[in-house]
């Protein structure tokens, strides 16, 4: 199970976080400036720094160029994240990829431990370019913020909070626990000593931000009538009417290599036989069922994921003009950019929505905490399409979330679960492939 900080939707809250720079191995720094790159870059062997880009400029890069820029940053994030969930958990708060200035910011409760954490990250992956790391002060550890977030979710579910909570989780910069509410100005008094005294009871700083509810994306499809082997992006239906959902993660069981397809758990009940659609594409009322995909055998609410056991699958995803290979899977970290193959978006003229920037890499969302379309609380990632671009549409639930990697291949990130209300609105919520695979004892199908 992934044990990193859950995060809510907001930007950096950097007040009071300035710290003196600390010289670290391989040019990594503690502080707020860009990291020093002594000598040559581990990536290129050249002495030049990468150009500083805006989010819009990063989004405007071609998929291959974007993958080249993000690749080394993702490698650093994966290594630091692994260390932070393990040997560095006592000081690790959070991390964020910032593709604009080409850095990874790591938040520690004790920046004096920066050299130790840098070394622990390089022990995970000796190939990373540690000069891309900068360290800043965190107000609390991953563990403390995660525990506080879970307490707030439990109180919200029990109806014991004085106002409605949209979402809850640690700040992206680990400066405290963010609680999204309808009226941030009134929240400190409402949650103060006269009521629940929440801030004192949690033992971590609290930041109240303007909230917005999400909406389940479970109403249409990208690919209408596929046949075995099925892949991510295929249309799924239980009865031939209605919009159905999307096939997401083509997997196999680790124990016996048996193929299992995974989609969102809010799509179908256990025991439901799942088919593709049939007939005229987009005619959701024709009552026709296509090819048998399998039967829903298990559901897990925490990761909003259910398994479909039946036909074969291949590790591909439905892209704009054809199928693209899924060759690996990984976590998503703040600042990264991802895409999805949601089915309804495709038919609405937005095939393969990309440039969805991760704004909060770990958060809880449920019926009393910002996801009224779910009947349970799920844990996942929030991202927003850059420049208020296309996020997702109703009907994209279960779609493959992925990152574009160099060479035109894709890295699976998870299953599309929710998003902000309205077709095409920029907010997207997904649960993560690594957590889903770990829970079910699955891995990505090696067959593409």
How distant is the alpha carbon of residue 113 from its chain centre?
28
CA dist 384 and 73 (Å) reads 19
pLDDT computed for residue 123 by the predictor: 97
Q: For residue 414, give both structure tokens.
A: 């998870």
Q: For residue 292, give both structure tokens.
A: 């048998």
Confidence of residue 217 (pLDDT cuts 50, 70, 90): low
Tens-place pLDDT, residues 426-443: 999 999 999 999 999 999
pLDDT higher at 2 or 316: 316
Quick one: DSSP state of residue 439?
H
Question: Would you say 262 and 305 are in contact if contact means Cβ atoms under 8 Å apart?
Answer: yes
Question: Would you say 410 and 433 are in contact if contact means Cβ atoms under 8 Å apart?
Answer: no
Q: Is the pLDDT of residue 36 over 50?
A: no
Distance in angstroms between the alpha carbons of the first and the last residue of the chain: 26
pLDDT higher at 244 or 321: 244
Lowest-pLDDT range of 182-196, 324-338, 370-384, 399-413: 182-196
Tens-place pLDDT, residues 356-372: 999 999 999 888 887 77
Query: Residue 180 is inside which H or E element, if any?
Result: strand 177-181
How distant is the alpha carbon of residue 180 from its chain centre?
18
Lowest-pLDDT range of 6-15, 94-103, 293-302, 331-340: 6-15
CA dist 378 and 286 (Å) reads 33
Highest mean pLDDT among 24-33, 34-43, 297-306: 297-306
What percent of the chain clears pLDDT 90, i.e. is strictly above it? 59
pTM to 2 decimal places: 0.78
Question: Would you say 152 and 168 are in contact if contact means Cβ atoms under 8 Å apart?
Answer: yes
Q: How many CA atoms lie within 13 A of 10 on its CB side?
A: 27
Q: For residue 74, give both structure tokens.
A: 């993702």
Query: Residue 438 is inside which H or E element, if any?
Result: helix 433-440
pLDDT computed for residue 304 by the predictor: 97
Give residue for tokens 């002060």: 137
Confidence of residue 47 (pLDDT cuts 50, 70, 90): very low
Confidence of residue 158 (pLDDT cuts 50, 70, 90): confident
Quick one: DSSP state of residue 234?
B
Quick one: DSSP state of residue 43?
T
100 has which bridge partners?
Answer: none
Confidence of residue 164 (pLDDT cuts 50, 70, 90): confident
pLDDT computed for residue 38 by the predictor: 36
Residues 6+ apart with CB under 8 A from 181: 163, 164, 165, 166, 187, 208, 209, 210, 211
CA dist 314 and 278 (Å) reads 21
pLDDT computed for residue 193 by the predictor: 61
What average pLDDT is seen over the chain? Answer: 85
CA dist 137 and 17 (Å) reads 5
pLDDT computed for residue 42 by the predictor: 44
Question: Would you say 17 and 32 are in contact if contact means Cβ atoms under 8 Å apart?
Answer: yes
Write out the E strands in 225-372: 230-232, 235-236, 245-246, 249-253, 259-264, 273-277, 289-300, 305-310, 313-318, 323-329, 337-340, 356-365
pLDDT computed for residue 204 by the predictor: 92
Lowest-pLDDT range of 29-43, 112-126, 282-296: 29-43
CATH architecture, range 212-448 = Beta Barrel (2.40)
Q: For the chain, give every domain's residue range.
A: 1-39+50-175, 212-448
How distant is the alpha carbon of residue 99 from its chain centre?
17
Q: For residue 232, give both structure tokens.
A: 């991510």
Residue range 146-175: average pLDDT? 88
pLDDT higher at 319 or 339: 339
What is the full DSSP assignment across 370-439? T-TT-SS-EEEEEEEEGGG-----TT-TTPEEEEE-TTS-EEEEEEEEEESSSTT-SEEEEEEHHHHHHH
pLDDT computed for residue 12 by the predictor: 28
Question: Would you say 333 and 77 are in contact if contact means Cβ atoms under 8 Å apart?
Answer: yes
CA dist 20 and 134 (Å) reads 12
Q: Is the pLDDT of residue 271 over 90?
A: yes
């Amino acid at each position: 199970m992934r044990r990193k900080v859950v995060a809510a939707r907001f930007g950096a809250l950097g007040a009071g976080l300035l710290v003196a720079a600390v010289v670290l191995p391989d040019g990594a720094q503690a502080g707020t400036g860009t990291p020093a790159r002594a000598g040559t870059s581990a990536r290129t062997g050249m002495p030049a720094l990468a150009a500083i880009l805006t989010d819009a400029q990063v989004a405007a890069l071609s998929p291959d160029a974007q993958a080249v820029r993000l690749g080394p940053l993702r490698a650093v994030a994966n290594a630091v994240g692994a260390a932070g969930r393990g040997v560095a958990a006592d000081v690790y708060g959070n991390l964020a990829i910032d593709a604009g200035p080409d850095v990874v910011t790591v938040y520690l409760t004790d920046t004096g431990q920066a050299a130790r954490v840098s070394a622990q990250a390089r022990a995970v992956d000796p190939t990373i370019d540690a000069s891309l790391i900068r360290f800043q002060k965190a107000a609390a550890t991953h563990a403390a913020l995660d525990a506080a977030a879970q307490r707030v979710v439990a109180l919200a579910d029990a109806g014991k909070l004085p106002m409605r909570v949209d979402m809850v989780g640690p700040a992206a910069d680990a400066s405290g626990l963010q609680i999204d509410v309808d009226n941030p100005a009134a929240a400190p008094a409402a949650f103060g000593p006269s009521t629940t005294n929440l801030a004192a009871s949690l033992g971590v700083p609290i930041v109240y931000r303007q909230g917005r509810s999400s909406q389940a994306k479970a109403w249409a499809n990208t690919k209408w009538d596929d046949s075995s082997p099925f892949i991510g992006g295929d249309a799924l239906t239980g009865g031939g009417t209605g919009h159905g959902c999307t096939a997401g993660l083509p997997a196999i069981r680790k124990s016996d290599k048996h193929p299992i397809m995974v989609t969102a758990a809010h799509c179908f009940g256990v025991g439901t036989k799942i088919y593709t659609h049939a007939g005229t594409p987009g005619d959701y009322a024709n009552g026709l069922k296509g090819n048998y995909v399998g039967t829903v055998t298990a559901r897990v609410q925490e990761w909003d994921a259910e398994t479909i056991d039946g036909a074969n699958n291949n590790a591909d995803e439905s892209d704009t003009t054809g199928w693209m290979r899924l060759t690996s899977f990984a976590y998503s970290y703040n600042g990264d950019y991802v895409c999805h193959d949601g089915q309804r978006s495709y038919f609405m003229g937005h095939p393969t929505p990309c440039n969805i920037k991760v704004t909060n890499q770990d958060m809880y969302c449920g019926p009393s905490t910002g996801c009224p379309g779910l009947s349970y609380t799920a844990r996942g990632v929030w991202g927003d399409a850059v420049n208020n671009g296309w996020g997702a549409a109703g009907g994209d639930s279960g779609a493959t979330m992925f990152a574009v990697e160099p060479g035109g291949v894709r890295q699976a990130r998870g299953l599309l679960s929710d998003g902000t209300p309205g077709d095409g609105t920029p907010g997207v919520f997904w649960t993560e492939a690594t957590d889903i695979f770990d829970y079910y004892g699955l891995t990505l199908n090696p067959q593409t």
